[in-house]
Amino acid sequence: MLATGSSADASTSKPTRTTHLLGQLKEAVITGKLLPGERLVVATLAETFQTGQTPVREALMRLASEGLVVQDDQRGFAVAPISRAELINLTQARSEIEALVITWSIQHGGEAWEAGLLVACHRLLKSQGSRPTVTASCLPGSSDTWNFTMR
């Protein structure tokens, strides 16, 4: 039997600096704050995120293993490039997946799910400055797709 040196459960342990930084960098890449092809200088990132260079390097290595960052032995790290064709393919795939998910949700959602959807629709319309009405496009009965799917 192996002893672990710590009685703390791994699921309740505090995230490391690297793990926290990994989340921040991943978000910056995904949201476009760090652009495709942009060079990532370890010292600059350490200063920006107020951490040491070791957690930055570790986080960049993890991002490289996920394909979000590329590493060049001579040039360091950079945000992974993406072509127009790749972006179009990703967008098409996401659209198809989201269509499947919403169809499944409509078919399997109960009354509580439908009520939540109506509340979300109402809030969305209000946030856009519209005065919600019964004929709003996201309400049941106002769309052939909704009527077909809910049968």
pLDDT at residue 144 is higher than 70: no
Residues 25 and 74 in one domain: yes
Give the pLDDT score at 2: 45
Question: Are residues 35 and 75 both part of a single domain?
Answer: yes
Q: What is the pLDDT of residues 32-49, one digit of tens each?
A: 999 999 999 999 999 999
Give DSSP secondary structure letters for 80-91. PP--HHHHHHHH
Share in percent of the chain as helix, strand, coil (round to 5) = 55, 5, 35
CATH number at residue 74: 1.10.10.10
Please compute the mean of the pLDDT values over residues 93-105 and round it to a whole number. Answer: 93
Q: What's the confidence (pLDDT) of residue 1?
A: 43
CB atoms under 10 Å from CB of 22, counted, come to 21
Give the end of a domain, one of 79, 94, 127: 79
Provide the pLDDT for residue 106: 86
Q: What is the pLDDT of residue 3?
A: 47
Instruction: Please identify, among 43, 60, 79, the residue that sits at the C-terminal boundary of a domain.
Output: 79
pLDDT attached to residue 72: 86
pLDDT band at 16 (very low <50, low <70, confident <90, very high): confident
Is 9's pLDDT higher than 60? no
Q: Give the mean model confidence (pLDDT) for residues 14-37.
A: 91
| Any domain includes 4 | no
**Domain final residue, candidates 30, 60, 79:** 79
Q: In terms of residue numbers, what domain contains 89? A: 84-150
The pLDDT, as a whole number, for residue 31 is 92
State the chain's mean pLDDT as an integer. 82
- The per-residue pLDDT for range 52-83, each reduced to its tens digit, is 999 999 999 999 999 999 998 888 999 999 89
If one counts every other C-beta atom within 10 angstroms of the C-beta of residue 87, the result is: 11
Report if residue 7 sits inside a domain.
Answer: no
In a domain, 3, yes or no: no
Residues 6+ apart with CB under 8 A from 122: 132
> E strands of 28-129, at which residues?
39-40, 69-72, 76-79
User: Is residue 27 in some structural domain?
Assistant: yes
